[in-house]
Amino acid sequence: MAKSIQTSSNSGADYVARPESCGPPVAVCEVAVVPECYEGAEPEEAMRTATDVTGELWIKGPNVVRGYWGKPEETASTFTNGWLHSGDVARLDDEGFIYIVDRSKDMVIRGGENVYCVEVENALYDHPAVAECAVLGVPHPVLGEEVGAVVVLRAGAKITADKLAALARERIAGFKVPTRMWFRATALPRNPAGKALKRELRAEVLSEATAANEPADNGRT
């Protein structure tokens, strides 16, 4: 374990007012939202208090361990002067409430633009036909990555990829809209915590595209 089970808390009236937030940090914790461009040894005060700035959530406090036992390389890459790099992409509001945007490993970098998969997934979930979806990056020869999506429809529901993309385009920026969609007949593979296994899904859909001699970076399925 890299940290204790609790870094923040949101309940009561705070939860009613901000149900999408995981709350402010608990009394013993400090948090910082650190942009990708940050290269210093410790977050500056402005980074800790800046609002609506998106970056990696760093955590510091007595409930954060010093490092991984017997793993100096992992410790060096995950901890900076007592700060734990959580791997969560987050932002803070003007009252210090934390909002998790995505996992940094799930983020798609399309031509230098960051695309947060959760935002795209939420846009797709707005259609009642969508039971499950997972957004992931697929290779692109120019952009590096393009946005793809694996979709599971509800029983008896029908919708085309073009219509789903049009719906998403009404809610998010055009460069975030999936240019490649795969419809899956069975439920998404998930780990015991309920998170979609995107690495497996990505390997599966790219393998299918290769077997069908289809480019993974062009068109929709």
112-127 pLDDT per residue, tens? 888 888 889 999 999 9
Q: Can you read off the two tokens belonging to residue 199?
A: 């690495």
pLDDT per position as a tens digit, 126-166: 999 999 999 998 888 888 889 999 999 999 999 999 999 99
Instruction: Tell me if residue 208 falls in helix, strand or coil.
Output: helix
According to CATH, the topology of domain 107-211 is GMP Synthetase; Chain A, domain 3 (3.30.300)
Average pLDDT estimate for 90-104? 83
Of the candidates 134, 131, 184, 133, the residue with the CA atom closest to the CA atom of residue 154: 131
Q: Please, which residues have CB within 8 angstroms of residue 18's CB and are 6 or more apart in sequence?
A: 10, 93, 97
Contacts of 134 (CB under 8 A, 6+ apart): 117, 121, 149, 150, 188, 196, 198, 201
Collapsed DSSP state (helix, strand, coil) of residue 115 = strand
Query: Tell me, what's the pLDDT at 2?
Result: 42
Backbone angles phi, psi at 118, to 5 degrees: -60, -40
Do 217 and 138 form a contact (C-beta atoms < 8 A)? yes
**Tokens linked to 205:** 């859909």
**CATH H-level, domain 12-103: superfamily:** Luciferase; Domain 3 (2.30.38.10)
> So what's the pLDDT on residue 51?
65
* Residue 1: predicted pLDDT: 35
Residues carrying CATH 2.30.38.10, the chain: 12-103
Give pLDDT tens digits for 180-213: 999 999 999 888 878 888 888 888 888 876 655 5
For 13-44, the pLDDT digits (tens) are 988 898 888 888 888 888 888 876 665 656 66
**Residue 134: what pLDDT?**
92
Neighbours of 7 (CB within 10 A): 23
> Which range has the top average pLDDT, 70-79, 87-96, 136-145, 150-159?
150-159
